Structure 1
Amino acid sequence: MRFTVRPGCLMLALLGMLSAGLPARAAEPPIRVGVLAYRGGDHANAVWEPTVRYLADRFPQRGAEMVPLDLPGMDAAVAAGGVDFVLTNTGNYVELEARHGVTRIATLHSSRSGASGAAVGSALIVRAGREDIRSLADLKGKTVMAVDPDAFGGFQVAWGAMLTAGVDPYGDLKELRFSGFPVDRVAFAVRDGAVDAGVLRACVLEELAEEGHLDRAGFQVVGARTEPGFGCALSTGLYPDWPLARLAKTPEDLAKAVVVALFQMPDGHPAARAGGYEGWTVPMDYQPVHGLFRSLRIGPYEHLRDVTLLDLAREHWHWLALAALALLWWAVHSLRVEHLIKVRTAELRAANRDLRREMAERHRAEETARERQKEMDHVARLSILGEMASNIAHELNQPLGAIANYARGCTRRLEAGVGSAAEFAEASRAIAAQADRAGQIIARIRDFVRKRAVQLEPADVNGAVEAALQLCEGRARSGNIPVTRSLTPGLPPVLADRVQIEQVVLNLVKNALDAMDGLADGEAGEGRGVTVRTGLDGEGRVEIAVADRGHGLSEDARTRLFDPFFTTKPGGMGLGLSICRTIVESHGGHLWATDHPGGGTVVRFVLPAAKEKVDAG
């Protein structure tokens, strides 16, 4: 409970008469009051000299004098007993109380105190317009200046608030500077841009503006908050105002007399106006300050930073006992686990040997399967050529017959002694052209049937289709079946074995030609013949389609078309389409058959496009 003593109180009047009646001691020195000069000696004299003069008037036999001190000087003066009373900030009082046993006898009632009577806080200031520093958390990575590490409102209160906001001023700031007293230097450093932010005791910013030292509009307060009844900018909570404390050596009767004199100060006294206060009240509760210092581990609680092993053992013995039990359990468990590991390792070694043996056998089986697949592919190609042997022979007979005719014609002209050199040269060129034609046919057949390893490389689909169709030309002519090409130019290449793709196309075209055998021209309807198309499907894959106008597929044939050994042709082995599907799927593609809208069957397969480009042909 706070109260301000007025001159009309009877009890205090009696105490005043007692104080006035103290026996005079001419030899006694003046009452010395140490005052914290947080803004320098001149400011301290202007603010507190009237209060000290007031005391001097109340004690004319002794008089009174003010001793302006900074924080180190305050500690030294109290330690040496150079003053009788100290008027200092809240935090410094708590430290002096712990260090030297000073005792608060009154608390200042500031004219700017909040409703609770608390009046000490911190304002963190930045230059106006700094949008990057709106809250205390934004101070990370910034340069901050404070007056002194031991300044209560000038640093320690702000320190606690920054820690609450998740900012450690000694670890998270770019730089933490201390200007030393007076505190005005901090505001000027912020104004001049020397630092990003500064810590001021609450109300110092307003005082500097009132005194004309700076423009208040040029600053903004970080994390601004309000306290009921407190009229200054604030970034933190409020703590009790400055105390007046007596030293342990100060006589108790003198302390009482000084307190009575201060309590009897009239309202509006010039000393109160100069000091910016309304009066004095009984000592307030300073436990909030102790709580702050305890959380910061400073002042009387600095020893909390140094924790010995014995302290830890005394405070946490139950946890240490639990840790010892856990360690014992871990040791027993480790021994058990080590034994199990040895057993499991032996079992794994045996399992690994069995697995390696199985993998080797599987690898051999896969190699055997691949070799058999190669043999089946080769046999299938030989089978296709065997079925087309008569047509291939017819293809070879044409250039061979032409060669024979040209040769006999040249012989007859030579025997008859007729013919010019130009005619014989022309005949020779024709013979050479037909020989090249026959050689190309034989080369295509040899490349198609020879055994070799699968070679995956970017391949031109249109070129593979053309090569397969050239092998079928004789078969198509002999059956009088037109073969229509609809090859889309500029198709992307596919990563494939070109010979295998030719094998698939050749098999599909041969099946289409077989489906057209025995049909009269009228039976096949419009568009009689075989059509081979290439292009891209909707997913960017290369598509090859072979369509015929035959009888089409039955329902049973459609479901079993790609089964091994299923065939609809007399004497067929039933392996062609099965091998074709295996080849296409091994290239990452898909093969399927559908009914032709105009009658017959369309067999399609798609292959994924390769990323590399390849020359056509």
Structure 2
Amino acid sequence: MAAENKTYRIGGLAITGTEAFLESFEPTFSAYLNQTVGEVYPGVGFIAVPLAFDDVWDAVSSASVDFLFLNPGSASCMESEFGVSAILSLRNFRQGNELNLFGGVVITAANRSDITEVAHLQDKVVEGVSVSGLGAFQLQWGLLQDQGFNLMADTEEVRFAYNQKKIVYDVINENVDVGFVRTDMVERMDAADLVPEWPLQALSHVPSDLAKEVVGALLLINETHEAAVSGGYSTWDVPLSYADLRR
């Protein structure tokens, strides 16, 4: 199947808000791919599309996006439900280190010396990003469950912010007692198991030759490239395995 002359939409989960997502990934998903893949297919363009958690299912089921950049939990769900396939995995870049794994952390304000272990979450107000958020809810939920703590029953309230930066500010301002965020948001109090970094997926209707060009172009990016600097990553890599997330 040959590539159509159209603008391909890359839907990305905007976990820190629309503006932050576009600032980070428009240079990769729009500017860079238009420059590189657009030279091979002059009638083809790319646009970065920020998605909220609640937007993902409809965007995929209606095929209003062509590629997806989601957290591994959501990506695994889309693969199971719609046959969306991972074509690359992000390799993150933090404090001079390349990382292809991330985890979830439990955070509190610095002055909350009364919350230092799992049992101290009893009757506290906890905030995560979304029930479908992997690094900012599901990993921590699983960690607490493994330690015998029932998050939904044993806390005073569980809230969802739909934005990880808001979670950090809510913790700092003591609007909530405890926050759940992914590992590279803030220093950690307690970490959940590590999982593979975010994949880039292609929906089944995307022509294979176009997907190959996208893969080839993104693999050429290194940590000094302006697109990588904007996105806070080092490069892209062959897709990692996300099978464990479907258990």
So what's the TM-score if we normalise by structure 1? 0.38
Whole-angstrom distance in 1 between the partners of 2:98 and 2:21: 26
Conservation of the 8 A alpha-carbon contact between 2:93 and 2:99: no
Which residue of structure 2 lines up, in the alignment, with residue 364 of structure 1? none
Which residue of structure 2 lines up, in the alignment, with residue 268 of structure 1? 224
Runs (5+) with no aligned partner, structure 2:
none
Q: Identify the match of residue 121 of structure 2 among 139, 142, 153.
A: 139
Deviation at 1:177, TM superposition (A): 1.1
- When residues 116 and 110 of structure 1 are mapped into structure 2, their CA distance, relative to the original with a 3 A threshold, is closer
Which residue of structure 2 lines up, in the alignment, with residue 28 of structure 1? 5
Which deviations, in whole Å up to 9, do the C-alpha atoms of 1:155-200 show, x marking residues without a partner?
Answer: 00111111112211111112111122x2222112211222111111
- When residues 114 and 156 of structure 1 are mapped into structure 2, their CA distance, relative to the original with a 3 A threshold, is farther
Which residue of structure 1 lines up, in the alignment, with residue 159 of structure 2? 177
Runs of 4+ more than 6 Å apart:
113-116
Conservation of the 8 A alpha-carbon contact between 2:128 and 2:180: yes
Alignment RMSD (CA, Å): 2.2
Whole-angstrom distance in 2 between the partners of 1:261 and 1:49: 15
Which residue of structure 1 lines up, in the alignment, with residue 24 of structure 2? 47
- When residues 63 and 164 of structure 1 are mapped into structure 2, their CA distance, relative to the original with a 3 A threshold, is same
Conservation of the 8 A alpha-carbon contact between 2:37 and 2:217: no
Whole-angstrom distance in 2 between the partners of 1:249 and 1:113: 38
Whole-angstrom distance in 2 between the partners of 1:222 and 1:264: 36
- Corresponding letter in the other structure for 2:25: W
Which residue of structure 1 lines up, in the alignment, with residue 171 of structure 2? 190
Conservation of the 8 A alpha-carbon contact between 1:32 and 1:85: yes
Which deviations, in whole Å up to 9, do the C-alpha atoms of 1:223-276 show, x marking residues without a partner?
Answer: 3xxxxxxxxxxx212110000000011111111111111112245110011111
Conservation of the 8 A alpha-carbon contact between 1:36 and 1:69: yes
Q: Identify, as 1 or 2, the structure richer in helix.
A: 1
Q: Alignment partner of 2:153: what SS?
A: coil
The alignment status of 1:199 with 2:180, answered yes or no, reads: yes
Which residue of structure 2 lines up, in the alignment, with residue 99 of structure 1? 81
Q: Alignment partner of 1:166: what SS?
A: coil
Instruction: Map 1:595-614 to 2 at 5 A.
Output: none
Which residue of structure 2 lines up, in the alignment, with residue 472 of structure 1? none
Whole-angstrom distance in 1 between the partners of 2:128 and 2:236: 29
Name the stretch that deviates more: 94-103 or 266-275: 266-275
Q: Alignment partner of 1:273: what SS?
A: helix
- Corresponding letter in the other structure for 1:39: T
Deviation at 1:76, TM superposition (A): 1.0
The alignment status of 1:239 with 2:195, answered yes or no, reads: yes
Which residue of structure 2 lines up, in the alignment, with residue 7 of structure 1? none
Q: Identify the match of residue 215 of structure 2 among 235, 239, 259.
A: 259
Count of residues in correspondence between the two structures: 242
Deviation at 1:39, TM superposition (A): 0.8
- When residues 116 and 269 of structure 1 are mapped into structure 2, their CA distance, relative to the original with a 3 A threshold, is closer
The structure whose RCO (Cα within 8 Å, separation 6+) is larger is: 2
- Corresponding letter in the other structure for 1:271: A
- Corresponding letter in the other structure for 1:196: D
So what's the TM-score if we normalise by structure 2? 0.91
Q: Identify, as 1 or 2, the structure richer in strand.
A: 2
The alignment status of 1:152 with 2:134, answered yes or no, reads: yes
- Corresponding letter in the other structure for 1:50: P
Runs (5+) with no aligned partner, structure 1:
1-22, 207-220, 224-234, 295-617
Conservation of the 8 A alpha-carbon contact between 2:223 and 2:233: no
Conservation of the 8 A alpha-carbon contact between 1:137 and 1:165: no
Q: Percent identity?
A: 34
- Corresponding letter in the other structure for 1:270: E
Which residue of structure 2 lines up, in the alignment, with residue 468 of structure 1? none
